[in-house]
Structure 1
Amino acid sequence: MEHLDSTILNTAIPAMAQSLHVAPLALRSVSTSYMLALAVFIPISGWMADRFGTRRVFFAAVGLFALGSLVCGLSLNVQMLVAARILQGMGGAMMTPVGRVALVRTFPRSDLLRTMNYVIVPALVGPMVGPLIGGLIVHWLHWRIIFFLNLPLAIFGLWLVHRTMPNYLESDTPPLDRTGFLLFGAGIALLSYALQVFGEHTMATAPLSLLTALSLLLLALYGWHSRRVENPVLALWLLRARTLQVSVIAGGVSRLGIGGMPFLLPLLYQIGLGFTPWEAGLLMMPNAVAAILMKISSGRVLARLGHRTTLISNTAIVGLTIGCFSLVGPGVSVWALAALSFVQGFFISLQFTSINSLVYAEVEDRDAAKASSIASTAQQLTFSFGTALAALLAGWFLSGLDQTNPAQILPALHRVFLTMGILTILSSLCYLRLRPSDGSNISGHGQGRRQ
């Protein structure tokens, strides 16, 4: 539901702007408000799960997302739509982290990888069909239907949660670290907003620099505060576990290139190559199909190679696929683009599976919610960094060029893809800190030889 909503919405922005009598740029806040709500509320998802129980929190999250969807569909103006998207973001912030906590505490580590893949595969259907469904709805129906589609899905989801989801909770959960929540929430929200407006080039350098400095100051104050309280909102001490630390820090570095692709590919397809939005959306479908296929086989890959070898080699391959887009020109075959999209989706999917499963390799069940909050917050932030980095490189290489002329745009975009690809390849070195046995309790790597 969450993945379908986000991918469908992108195709409907022009129609929504026309219906609400505003410029398409004015709807930037519709996307920004959702992302800011995610950034603010993901950090407390772990505490919520421990305090109120995984089933209760997940049930409330789905209900809140559905309520936000209903209000979105009924919105009469941009302000009402933004408020509804914040409601959606509050619900969405709890879904993935709390869902992962329930999985970690239900299944043994040896079954975790297979179970996570089983759960994630249906979610990948959203990115696969979302752009096409969104285009069809906007063309034949009304954009409000996009949000109303979430309601039957939410009702079915609430029924499933009530019937099947366990309600794990901690009876001795400490009170919420309100000061830490305010410091970190304000800092992460300001930083996320600064990264988004940086990517859109809609704010002058001076106020943007001031906003970024303020966000970093708040985050630094949170770091100081977290060392002086017993139960901070984000338990940064968990990063002492090497596998979690590598997953968060090295995973964040290697996700920068991946995070820039949603920003760069529309520029390449629609401006550089002249494809229509729905044609560009279709070219993304092989990526999602490959992601589903990889989820089915990723367990066998990790069992055979282990997390260390997989992440070092796979990160380099992902970087190569990003760099390959620097070879895409006007005469390229659509089938070649679809093949490249498929290959990239295959290896990006393996990257995410490897990083996300490594989070829980050394974490005790009682700390699973805290680790999930850290990992989800870091993932959300690094994708924003990836978009900002791609925007910075694009602005640099496109500076002084006629941005309506594909003959000038394409060479500049090629340099961006090549730079992002090289940075991703270099980031594979970050995984050298892993040991060959790290994550073997999840992947089963080496167990057959020991037996």
Structure 2
Amino acid sequence: MNATPTHQALQPEFRLLVLLVSIGFFMQGLDTTIVNTAIPAMARSLGEDPLQLHSVVVAYVLSVAACIPLSGWLADRFGVRNTYFSAIIIFTLASLGCGLSSSLNELLCFRVLQGIGGALLLPVGRLAMLKVIPRTQFLSAMSLMSLAGLIGPLMGPTLGGWLVEHTSWHWIFLINLPMGLLGCCITFKAMPNVTEPTVQRFDLSGFVLLVIAMAGLTLGIEQFASVENSLRWSLGLMLVGLIAALLYAVHAHTHQNALFRSKMFKHRIYAIGIIGNFFARLGGNAMPFLLPLMLQVAFGLEPLMTGLLMIPTVLGSLVSKPIIRPIIQRFGYRNVLLVNTLLVGGCIASFALSTPSTPTWILIGHFFIFGLLNSLQFVSMNTLTLKDLPQQDASSGNSFLSMIMMVSMSIGVALAGTLVNMFMAYYGPAHLLSAFHITLICLGAINLITALIFWQIPKHTAV
């Protein structure tokens, strides 16, 4: 008798569900990257300094990070279909609001709402697939869905540059409307409203502490170089964030239904992976924001050309996928992460050698290498972090990792923007390129700290 295959092709009755989740994944991936090439044009339209507009990116990413802990509980309590439908509605209406904004404050408010919708799209969609699609077909479903996650970031910078040049920056948000309407139409046909019979009481106090911690630290760093607010205000925000983080650490240790229990950190590999993820992503996740800004503001390139130059980064990431597992199996997690962390840091810092006269083919190669190394770093870190977690901690551990990834991105973008502004204030507007170059060196140097963290990985950690 032939054994039943472990993985099967996706059956037709589940394809519409996968398409629906892919739409959400695509919208979220597109919106994370499409804004980066449009920032200078947005700044001109809104009468703002482009170097101060990192708040548009931070507002979205920070609200995504803050709402990730809500996603699983809402889906269990109100059903995956109701939660997913609400997420699409929020995301689509917020996109409309962003597209119609006439001031920075309006835009920031709608970006926060957009982030709330975006935070629910991918986790709830993935949860719906997990609950509805048989495990034997789940790998096929995830493979199809992941294509949408790759296409979104691949298209984002170039599409954003094209829209800015040929229409206006408002269309980088309005483009979400037809996709959102399509998602709304498919939701009730494709996704059953699966709920859990018993749902724990939501840890509201822990959630509030986490939000205060994330917002305080990120906004404190973002406001550090602000001319409108005093240094005392920035330091106060960071202090509030640190106190809230410490209070949550106590809360996680003492409360039985805490969102993320402290017992997860008894697993040494998980603890190293979380801390390493946080520091390694500060520089790596700031680059998709910082490089398009430098290419346009300091190099004088057009938005479309800037977007095209970002494509090799995504291609490098795609090329790395098949080689990651063989490299880890050959050299082990510790050696790969130690060496690659230093290579990523060196690659980030080496962008300081780029000038407006650097040949395009060198820039293309540089972006490609960065994308390859950065992808190798992220996949290795994520796999290491989760690989030894017990089954009962896997869901909570994965959610906490997702939250840390987004928090690190928001802090990284805020840090990059703050450093550019600080160095420009020191050197003067005539030396804008130098401000970008020194910022890149600083972001690359952070990886030296990360290498010290990965040095703690046991030498014989199994693959």
Shorter chain as normaliser: what TM range? 0.7 to 0.9
Which one of the candidate residues 399, 403, 420 is aligned to 2:443?
420
Matches of 1:75 and 1:318, distance apart in 2: 37
TM-score, normalised by the number of residues in structure 2: 0.79
Report the CA distance between 1:346 and its aligned residue.
0.8
Report the CA distance between 1:185 and its aligned residue.
1.7
Is 1:323–2:349 an aligned residue pair? yes
8 Å contact kept, 2:40–2:293: no
- After superposing the two structures, state which structure 1 stretch, 306-315 or 172-181, moved more: 306-315
Is 1:334–2:360 an aligned residue pair? yes
- After superposing the two structures, state which structure 1 stretch, 151-160 or 219-228, moved more: 151-160
**Amino acid of the structure 2 residue aligned with 1:220:** L
Report the CA distance between 1:350 and its aligned residue.
1.7
Matches of 1:21 and 1:326, distance apart in 2: 29
Matches of 1:160 and 1:200, distance apart in 2: 45
Aligned to 2:211: 185
C-alpha change, 1:158 and 1:146, in structure 2 (3 Å) is: same
Is 1:47–2:73 an aligned residue pair? yes
RMSD after superposition: 3.8
Is 1:298–2:324 an aligned residue pair? yes
What secondary structure is seen at the aligned counterpart in 2 of 1:198?
Answer: coil
Which one of the candidate residues 313, 319, 326 is aligned to 1:287?
313
- After superposing the two structures, state which structure 1 stretch, 357-366 or 211-220, moved more: 357-366
8 Å contact kept, 2:164–2:303: no
C-alpha change, 1:421 and 1:218, in structure 2 (3 Å) is: closer
The 5 A counterparts of 1:185-264 are 185-198=211-224, 202-264=228-290
Aligned to 1:265: 291
**Amino acid of the structure 2 residue aligned with 1:418:** I
Is 1:132–2:155 an aligned residue pair? no
Aligned to 1:3: 29
C-alpha change, 1:16 and 1:256, in structure 2 (3 Å) is: closer
Long gaps (5+) in structure 2: 1-26
**Amino acid of the structure 2 residue aligned with 1:134:** G
8 Å contact kept, 2:273–2:382: yes
C-alpha change, 1:255 and 1:5, in structure 2 (3 Å) is: closer
Matches of 1:109 and 1:439, distance apart in 2: 26
Matches of 1:426 and 1:108, distance apart in 2: 43
- After superposing the two structures, state which structure 1 stretch, 316-325 or 360-369, moved more: 360-369
**Amino acid of the structure 1 residue aligned with 2:451:** S
**Amino acid of the structure 2 residue aligned with 1:428:** A
Matches of 1:410 and 1:18, distance apart in 2: 19
Report the CA distance between 1:286 and its aligned residue.
0.8
8 Å contact kept, 1:34–1:89: yes
Aligned to 2:376: 350
Matches of 1:290 and 1:102, distance apart in 2: 31
Deviations 1:275-309 (A, max 9, x none): 33433332212101211222344344444444333
Matches of 2:142 and 2:255, distance apart in 1: 33
Report the CA distance between 1:343 and its aligned residue.
0.6
Report the CA distance between 1:205 and its aligned residue.
0.5
Which one of the candidate residues 17, 26, 34 is aligned to 2:60?
34
8 Å contact kept, 1:195–1:388: yes
8 Å contact kept, 2:312–2:371: yes
**Amino acid of the structure 2 residue aligned with 1:279:** M
TM-score, normalised by the number of residues in structure 1: 0.81
- After superposing the two structures, state which structure 1 stretch, 104-113 or 193-202, moved more: 104-113
Percent of counterpart pairs with the same letter? 35
The 5 A counterparts of 1:48-127 are 48-52=74-78, 56-75=82-101, 80-98=106-124, 119-127=145-153
What secondary structure is seen at the aligned counterpart in 2 of 1:374?
Answer: helix
**Amino acid of the structure 1 residue aligned with 2:222:** Q
What secondary structure is seen at the aligned counterpart in 2 of 1:234?
Answer: coil
**Amino acid of the structure 1 residue aligned with 2:164:** V
8 Å contact kept, 2:282–2:411: yes
8 Å contact kept, 1:49–1:98: yes
Matches of 1:71 and 1:157, distance apart in 2: 18
8 Å contact kept, 1:54–1:102: yes
What secondary structure is seen at the aligned counterpart in 1 of 2:257?
Answer: coil
C-alpha change, 1:385 and 1:34, in structure 2 (3 Å) is: closer
C-alpha change, 1:274 and 1:15, in structure 2 (3 Å) is: closer
- After superposing the two structures, state which structure 1 stretch, 113-122 or 87-96, moved more: 113-122
What secondary structure is seen at the aligned counterpart in 2 of 1:175?
Answer: coil
Report the CA distance between 1:63 and its aligned residue.
3.5
8 Å contact kept, 2:43–2:49: yes
Matches of 2:102 and 2:245, distance apart in 1: 36
Aligned to 1:376: 402
- After superposing the two structures, state which structure 1 stretch, 429-438 or 307-316, moved more: 429-438
C-alpha change, 1:391 and 1:157, in structure 2 (3 Å) is: same
Aligned to 1:402: 428
Aligned to 1:432: 455
Matches of 1:49 and 1:415, distance apart in 2: 45
C-alpha change, 1:368 and 1:54, in structure 2 (3 Å) is: farther
C-alpha change, 1:348 and 1:100, in structure 2 (3 Å) is: farther
Aligned to 2:13: none
Matches of 2:383 and 2:191, distance apart in 1: 20
Matches of 1:16 and 1:410, distance apart in 2: 21
Is 1:175–2:207 an aligned residue pair? no
Matches of 1:61 and 1:139, distance apart in 2: 30
Long gaps (5+) in structure 1: 441-451
C-alpha change, 1:46 and 1:365, in structure 2 (3 Å) is: farther
Report the CA distance between 1:362 and its aligned residue.
2.6
C-alpha change, 1:335 and 1:114, in structure 2 (3 Å) is: farther
C-alpha change, 1:195 and 1:411, in structure 2 (3 Å) is: closer
Aligned to 1:146: 172
Number of aligned positions between the proteins: 437
C-alpha change, 1:75 and 1:425, in structure 2 (3 Å) is: closer
8 Å contact kept, 2:320–2:372: yes
Is 1:314–2:327 an aligned residue pair? no
Report the CA distance between 1:176 and its aligned residue.
0.5
Matches of 1:168 and 1:305, distance apart in 2: 43
